[in-house]
Amino acid sequence: MTKLGFTGKVAIVTGAASGLGLSHARALAERGASVLLNDIAIRDGGESAAQIEAARLRSEGYDVHACNASVGIEADAESVIQEAVTRWGRIDSLVNNAGNSIAGRIQDVSTEDMRSVLEVHLMGMFWTMRAALRHMRKQDYGRIVNTASALGAFGAPEALPYATAKAAILGLSRSASLDNRDRNIRINTICPVAYTPMAKAYFEAHPELDTARLDPSAVSPLVVYLSHETCQPNGEVLSVAAGRVARIFTATVPGFVATPLTAEAVAENLHIAMDVSDYSIPGSSIDQYRLQPGS
């Protein structure tokens, strides 16, 4: 099989100074991409973590530079994209990985904490995508990989801000993929599981989960493929962990029809509405509307 190369391509990875982001950045650089590492983290001594890691990768011969702007601020998020375009003249791949995590139940979460998580995960992703897509549409090429989570796809207790932000990313990515299917642009979402500094507290709270195979490097191969010019999926969500890659999808079942629909009819036929033995996967909301009676 031909190795997937990135010579001449430019990639941006946010949240790239450690964990998943650093693993993705290294994987892309090793395959020939010019990479911009974005991260706001500061190491002991006051040095930029992104600058330290970029310098380390450059010392290994890779074309990697750093940007310390915060994607949680609109102007800064847009400047991340502009920095890559100014330096290399284009942007081919954007890997949105930046995030923060605040735990809590809905009855306990403050408005400030909720906004803090949404600003970075959701709005930061919106701002970087919007800026990148303006360039990608002009060049009729682009690949975007957004990082969501199984917590967003399936929910989780005591993780409301994070789960809400990650669920919103699924809708953002899917709609953006439909908005740009008229170009050679692919926008997909990953739901990774990896033992990273940000996830450490979660795994410590769940000692029954085996972290031995959850190295970030086991996630990056999927990011490499989704960032490559040969990538065909668009608008998809893929779970990835410990060597397993699997599609996550939203589907609908035939359900039941009652005319007129009454509360009693719902009670009597709810088991039919909930039956998942047969289902279809709508390409967009229009497909779901076509399942309605008389359509």
Q: Is the pLDDT of residue 289 over 90?
A: no
Residue 203 has pLDDT above 80, yes or no: no
pLDDT at residue 295 tops 80: no
Residue 295 in tokens: 């359509």
Q: Which residues pair with 116 in a beta bridge?
A: none
Please, what are the domains in the chain? Answer: 10-248 (3.40.50.720), 251-295 (no CATH)
Amino acid (one-letter) located at 152: G
* Per-residue pLDDT at 205 exceeds 80: no
**The pLDDT of residue 22:** 98
Annotated catalytic residue 162:
yes
Question: How confident is residue 76, by pLDDT bands cut at 50, 70 and 90?
Answer: very high
The two tokens of residue 199 are 């996830």
What is the overall mean pLDDT for the chain? Answer: 95
* pLDDT, position 263: 99
Give mean pLDDT, residues 193-199.
Answer: 79
Which has the higher per-residue pLDDT, 239 or 195?
A: 239
Considering the chain, what percentage of its residues have pLDDT values greater than 90? 87
Among the listed residues 141, 162, 195, 202, the single catalytic one is 162
Percentage of the chain beyond pLDDT 70 is 99
Q: In the structure, what pLDDT confidence band is assigned to residue 26 with cuts at 50, 70 and 90? A: very high
pLDDT reading at 200 higher than 80: no
